[in-house]
Chain A
Amino acid sequence: MKTSYKNIYMLALSILTISCSEDFTDLAPTSQRNVENFYKTATDMEVAVNGIYNALQLDGTYNQSYWIMHEMRSDNTDQGPGSTGLARERAIIEDFGEISTSDIIEAAWTDSYSGIARANVVLNRINSVEMDQGLKDRLTGEALFLRSLFYYHMAISFGNIPLVVTETQSVNEGQDHVQVSADVIYGQLVTDLTEAENLLNLPIETMGNNLGRATKGAAAILLAKVHLLLNEKAAAATVLRRIMSDYGYSLVPDYNDLWGENNEHNAESIFEVEFQGGGFGGGNSFTNDFSPLPTLPTSVGAYRNRPTREMMNTYETGDSRFFASMDTSFVDNEGMLQTNTNNDIRFIVKYGIDNPLGAEGEGDAPNNFVVFRYADVLLMLAEAIGESPEAYDLINEVRDRADLGIIDAATPGTFEEKLLHERRVELAFENHRWADLLRFGAAESTLVAIGKSPRLLFLIPQKELDLNKNFKQN
């Protein structure tokens, strides 16, 4: 019958319609780049490095966890009143009462390792990409520095952490991770930061569109800190002197001029976490977090990271750094001055913004977070060389700017006490205090003195312990 030919014809037709099905079902994302076609060119590597910087803005790093774990955990700040429920979690961490499932602690682990992994991808792949050697050096240096910065925070916070310096190829690798001591991490950082300092550009060369990138100075100051942690004071001093002599930093004459959107990248600034408002997702929430109660002018203040009364009192009379760092009164939204009659209004102003009422005041503020600045170099050098006239000179250089008189060996207290005090007020609320207390061996005594039962290492997130049965809790 004729129909059978038709039959065959139609069958053929229908097969034809999906004969290209191999391609038909082989679709790749059009709106998103994917691993199969990326990391091939110099531009790819450049944006991949920019992506590592992005990890500095995360909640688990500078936007939140780091100030909770390195500032609130110390004797500098606490959680203001009126917090209940989830908001109390910060107060619990401040009080050393957190459990291993704390979201904030877990975020620090997750987001820091995210930054580390981003750097590992770049470091693993960059050598096989053809590009200008100068650019390759700079990108490699940036990746090394950023990875070190995350590891520094992780080692300070948790101590025993896995050291991962290779790109993840398969999820099964997670079972191979082993915990190493902080000193092993610091050893790796010395190597990496030494190389980074070599590869990176000078601060003076990092201007224009590159402003905000890591420089030799940034790698060097972190290297010096790591040397101090390893008690390699001479090595630290060498690095610090190199920063002083070669990299062109100086103290800004007025401490007030260090802060705010308009004073970013000043002569003293060594490395900052860059933020930008405007709805791009690049803003910070310091204003919301640090402002006083919700009923007050920003309308969204959570009163976190509040300077303790003891912190407020630790400033010497006449210290011009006090009001640049914190405040004790504000004008509310009805124009009324709310004053500190009971010493219960205290809040950080270093990260204040001009207009806290708009969108910028709602988690989208533009001001940078200063990670390292030159005053720290001076004080670390004093620490590295130990009690000596030169050391007092370095400290007094910092004190002089604060309109305070000189101190010397005759000033009451030990050298370490005086230095630690100076570091506390000079670098107040810049996430240095917890590391300083640990480095100076003063964490235990200081916190016990204010009635706390300190724990020097944070608990390793329960999730990580659950996923890798070899991990041990701190």
Chain B
Amino acid sequence: MKKLVLIWGLFLLSYTPNNAQLLVSLREPLPDVGHNQRAPIYLRDILSSMEKEFNVSILYNSDLIENVEVSVTPELKNSSVEEELLYYLQPIGLKSKKLEERFYVIQKEVDKQEKIIRNAKARFNKASQSEEPFLVNSVPKNIDFSSLNKPSSLATLTGQVTDESGAVLPGVSIIIKGTTTGTITDIEGYYSLEVNPSDVLIFSFIGYSNQEIIVGTQSVVNVRLEADITTLGEIVVTGYGTQQRRDITGAVASISFEEIQNMPVASFENAIQGQLAGVQVSETSGEPGAGPTIRVRGLGSISAGNEPLFVIDGFPVSKNVAIGVQGDVSRRRAAFRPPPSNPLATLNPNDIQSIEVLKDASAAAIYGSRGSNGVVLITTKRGKREGKPQISFDSFTGVQSVANKIDLMNAAELTDYVIDTRNNAYLQDIAGASINDSNAERDAKAIADGKAPSGNYRIADDFINPSGTDTDWQDEVFNQATIQSHNVSVSGGTEDIGYYVAGGYYDQDGIIDGSGFKRYSFRVNLEAEIMPKLNIGVNLNPSFTVFDRLPAGSPYFARPPGIVYSALVQSPTVSPYNADGSINQTDNQSYLFTETGAGAGMTTASNPLAIIAAIDDKLKQNRTFGNFWGEYEILEGLKFKSFLGIDINNYNRTFFRANSLLYRNAPTGEPYAQSSASQSVSWVSEQTFSYEKTFADQHNLSAVAGFAAQKETIETSEVLAINFFDDQVPTINGGQVTAGTANQEEWSLASFLARGNYSYKDKYLLTATIRTDKSSRFGKENRTGVFPSVSAGWRLSEESFMANLSSLSDLKVRASWGQTGNFLIPNFASIGLISPTNYVFGENGGSQTNGVTQTTISNPALSWEKTSQIDIGLEFGLFDDRIFTSLDWYQTTTSDLLLAVQIPSALGFTTSLQNIGEVQNKGLEISLSTRNLAGELKWDTDFNFSTINNKVTKLGPSGDPILSSGGAGNRHITRIGDPIGSYYGYVVDGIYQSQAEIDNAPIDTQAPAARPGDLRFKDIDNDGDIDPDDRTVIGNYLPDYTWGITNTFTFKGVDLRILIQGVQGAEVLNLTRRHLGNGEGNFNSYAEWNNRWRSPSEPGNGEIPRADRLTGLHGNNNRPSSFQVEDASYIRLRTITLGYNFPNKVLGDVIQSLRIYMSGTNLLTITDYLGFNPEVNNQSAASPNVQGEDYGAYPLNKSYTFGINVTF
């Protein structure tokens, strides 16, 4: 076999930045072989000098170039690496191949026939050495060649190196530890090396963690390298280009497919939860397919959208679903809408290669008026060129159940509580009352006292003589459900073409029967070099989803009523089924009558099982992304790229409410059906030039500039039918169509963009960006916005004065400033719109006659919201990057907030959309990756931590606070000095223990007749009484900080990954307390009310007031107050995965890799929050002003899955 000699190890280290000093010191002593020298010129020297000049690595088999002289005169100037290589190599029958950015390998010219034979041989004889192990870099003088002359105890070791997915890795360096001897893998990933049994091999490759192997007696060692996300050589997608991690001067978070694959979630957003600093993903509903919310660095907007811009393979998509493209149930109040379906759930997480989040303004400014909420760049998988076809099969299946249940009263507890509420009300209101009075006596005494007899004083029969029924309504509603996902992909390519073709099926049933989400997705990613210097590519991603919706997450009184909330408020004394097995809809708490036949003061809710049975709501989405691009290298380093993309998104929704459902205590059904459809078509055209050049070996310059245009047209329509006389036909033609509507909207954006990156000696880094956006959404006077940014970095670790700090492997400080915008304003908000306001004229009841009214007032000055951000970052690696830390501090000021400013009503309008007000976000982000153990047992930890500090700094002309109404009246305030949408209400200050205490307290104008046991409210303004002026901020939805920690252990073939994440300092406005904790006993209630105040001697737990059916007329304990605001901090065991990789020797020739794993999700959540999910947010799709309400949401599930990954 050929001996391979190299300084490869040192060479490689020189390209891992942790050893940057070494790079410098190594290069210094190299002979300065310039082009102009007349002496015999060796190719080796030429290559060496080229490496220096172009800052590239050139790999070769030393045999190929040993003593090869260059016959041509080196006269090239201003040419590219490729051109120079071609110039020198062609005459001597060699060629070069670009492996990666800045990596070239020199090969013999091999004709096709030869190549096929070679490949075939390699496949048939894995263990044999490959024919042409290329190798060896230029050899500096100071390298010890003694290792070449080792005694003959050397044995030949061979093997193949792959990545985690089983894809072969060419160009991986293998070096014997402590020596300079080694080799690199060939294009099939094979290597061959002569070793001693005592040798330790180090496998290393850019972008992957090093792996050490003890040779022992093995003759074949196949190695799987794991991607290393903190390695600074990692290529990071930055929008209109890529950069190496070490060159980045903005705040960019990235995550690769390893961290998101195989998770039992519908969408990639759920998968990245807790894994990125500064990116808060909240799973506000557990309904399969429901969209989570993503907030990058807090909340910047009061009334425009706060979702980041998503860019999928270069195609910008907004997740804005505000204008009803998904259809809506027209009879449901906007505040009770469930979270929208996730429009990006058509994207199969399995197809994603990496996700980058551009967090600061310098990174996001390249997206201009859409960048201020952050930008999420999604890159899908490509085929590796020259890899043999690789077939992967990934599949998992599992079971899900409700993550936790709410602790509610059982029948006995509720009975005790209800009786208590009636007695307390009766004793307080009626003269001569005694709790021993019969219902008849209660009625009589009420009349005698001049009051109306009422169910609020009577005790219903069910509670006097309980039947023994004790229904757990949560058990009735939540079931076990299955989840499965199957994906097949084929990727590979030839020298000129790379392809990735995949198909996926995902099927998740909901834990409430009748809900679920299915996805069928396909993807073709092709790239080809069709001519020298001309590359083209196509991405095509059609997918189809079916989302079985249920009205699960709305209040019991919404229309249609919410399933979860109906189950919670339902009395356990009510039986879910009738004796004949049918669903019990009439023998419920609203039909509890006392013996006198009068009402029992209970509020009814529909039977949740009847809701499940009666509602059929299906949302189907059909989305196709298609991109086509071509890139031509015009001159050395100068490329032109033309990118065309289209996104066609169709929704089709059918809704039917059957006759069978009785709304609460309605005696008859209320059937209706809806059909809605929408189509949005968005196209984008981008023409960009990019340029990359290194001057004088020290100045690296890269730039991109170009034009972009995008336009989206959205059409929606909706038809309503009522009067279904039976449930036979659930479509609109089964009833009478009575209403319909259609809408068409469009927006367009024309942009110029440019970015330049400059670095000097890899030490000083500078990036500047500018984008101008001209949008149809902006007013005529303000149509074009300019968004500049600049950022700089200094890699101190490159400085000679840092060279002595051997433990510090990398140190970079960076700072950025930039401006971005938020263009998520309504499409035609600047133009005064005229809307239909019909009226009825004519005989016989009349008919609808067209009428119109101007409903909005023009604002030709309307503009995007402007965000300025400063970011200061520090990155350092210790001990060869075994510890790598990135710190960011940022401050964001968003001004010209889009605000519906109140105007005097006598103008005929109540609000006018104006740019006014300012919000500030500040925060600190820490990412820490440590390689705790690197031996046979590997232990890696990734930790991230971010703080959020959100504050409104200016508002409206008068600075007046904005009160906002979510699900239950004005309970949110946006005011200067507090976070957006803070909760607003009275502050509870304990419980009155005695009448004397009440008498001495400030007069509570909102409590007509407080008694001991009632809540004591705080006199905030100290004016001696408690009135509406004493309402104040009582919490907010934004956390103080969020964190996540992932621990990964690998030992032999076993891997264990544990992700724990947490949120601290967030509060939830728990509106369910209005019913489940109102003290009135007209519903089932939180079990904590068993610890209520009963008397001064039995004060309970000191937090829960007394039971009182008529608290609204007495202590008014149920008013909006801090009693309804709860700490929503939590720590969650998000996922735990245990996997096993079968060793290659048991797999045979066909299977390249096989991994099986078991995974658990949401197994444990530690929180004080009473409800299902501390991340709940019933208003996630509504205005940013009303976030954080819990009004009965679909709970999260916990799941156990079993999966398999196979590659062939």
Contact = CB atoms under 8 A, between A and B. Distances in A.
B756 interface: no
Interface residues of B, number: 92
Given A34-B834, A279-B722, A342-B452, A29 B908 contact: no
A85 B1120 CA distance: 10
Contacts of A175: 904
Interface in A103-144: 109-110, 113-114, 116-118, 120-121
A110 B909 CA distance: 8
Which of A57, A280, A467, A468 has its CB near the most chain B CB atoms (within 10 A)?
A: A467
B413 to A, nearest CB: 23
A36 B832 CA distance: 8
Given A24-B750, A27-B747, A34 B841 contact: no
Interface in A33-71: 33-36, 38, 47-57
Which of B664, B709, B912 has its CB near the most chain A CB atoms (within 10 A)?
A: B709
A29 B831 contact: yes
Contacts of A6: 632, 634
A461 B902 CA distance: 13
A279 B720 contact: yes
Contacts of A359: 670, 672, 722
A51 B837 contact: yes
Given A17-B707, A32-B833, A208-B843, A117 B851 contact: no
B309 to A, nearest CB: 18
Interface string A1-13: 1011011001101
A31 B744 contact: yes
Contacts of A227: none
Contacts of A327: none
Given A25-B750, A31-B744, A121 B854 contact: yes
A445 interface: no
A168 interface: yes
Contacts of A34: 828, 831-834
Contacts of A168: 857, 907-909
A35 B832 contact: yes
Which of B632, B711, B783, B842 has its CB near the most chain A CB atoms (within 10 A)?
A: B842
B640 A10 contact: yes
Interface in B733-767: 738-739, 742-750
Interface in B881-935: 902-910, 912, 914
Nearest to A118: B853
Which of A53, A88, A336 has its CB near the most chain B CB atoms (within 10 A)?
A: A53
Contacts of B706: 14
Nearest to B597: A336
A366 B738 CA distance: 15
Contacts of B906: 113, 116-117, 161-162, 164, 174, 177, 464
B948 to A, nearest CB: 31
A6 B857 CA distance: 49
A51 B666 contact: no
Contacts of B835: 32
Contacts of B958: 466-467
A25 B749 contact: yes
Given A6-B634, A7-B640, A25-B776, A208 B687 contact: no
B709 A17 contact: yes
A357 interface: yes
B1112 interface: yes
Contact of A50 (B642, B709, B850): B850
Contacts of B707: 14-15, 17-18
A433 interface: no
Contact of A299 (B663, B709, B853): B663
A464 to B, nearest CB: 6
Interface string A274-298: 1110111110000000000111010
A86 interface: yes
A436 interface: no
A288 to B, nearest CB: 12
A265 interface: yes
Contacts of A82: 454, 456
Which of B663, B906, B910 has its CB near the most chain A CB atoms (within 10 A)?
A: B906
Contacts of B1000: none
Contact of B667 (A101, A207, A333, A344): A333
Interface stretch (A209-217, A310-318, A370-378, A397-405): A209-217
Given A113-B905, A295-B590, A357-B668, A32 B453 contact: no
Contacts of A294: 603, 665
Given A17-B707, A81-B454, A279-B720, A210 B841 contact: yes
Interface in B1027-1054: 1028
Given A7-B634, A32-B834, A88-B1112, A276 B709 contact: no
Which of A32, A49, A82 has its CB near the most chain B CB atoms (within 10 A)?
A: A32
Nearest to A109: B905
Nearest to A21: B750
Given A25-B749, A120-B908, A50 B849 contact: yes
A467 B453 CA distance: 47
A171 interface: yes
B845 interface: yes
B53 interface: no
Contacts of B834: 32-35, 38
B452 A276 contact: no
A54 B909 contact: no
A8 to B, nearest CB: 10
B341 to A, nearest CB: 23
A35 B454 contact: no
B530 to A, nearest CB: 16
Nearest to B854: A35
Interface in B747-800: 747-750, 774-776, 783
Which of B706, B835, B846, B1113 has its CB near the most chain A CB atoms (within 10 A)?
A: B846
B852 A47 contact: yes
B838 A54 contact: yes
14 contacts: A17-B707, A17-B709, A29-B745, A33-B834, A38-B834, A48-B853, A50-B849, A54-B851, A84-B1110, A85-B1118, A88-B1112, A117-B909, A295-B665, A463-B905
A-B pairs, top 7 by smallest CB distance, nearest first, are A117-B908, A50-B851, A14-B687, A84-B1112, A174-B904, A35-B832, A54-B837
Given A110-B905, A209-B841, A280-B848, 13 more contacts: A4-B634, A7-B635, A7-B640, A33-B833, A50-B838, A81-B452, A86-B969, A121-B854, A171-B907, A171-B912, A174-B907, A276-B848, A366-B845
Interface of B: 447, 452-454, 456, 590, 597, 599, 603, 632, 634-635, 638, 640, 642, 663-668, 670, 672, 685, 687, 689, 706-707, 709, 711, 720, 722, 738-739, 742-750, 774-776, 783, 827-828, 831-835, 837-843, 845-854, 857-858, 902-910, 912, 914, 958, 960, 969, 1028, 1110, 1112-1113, 1118
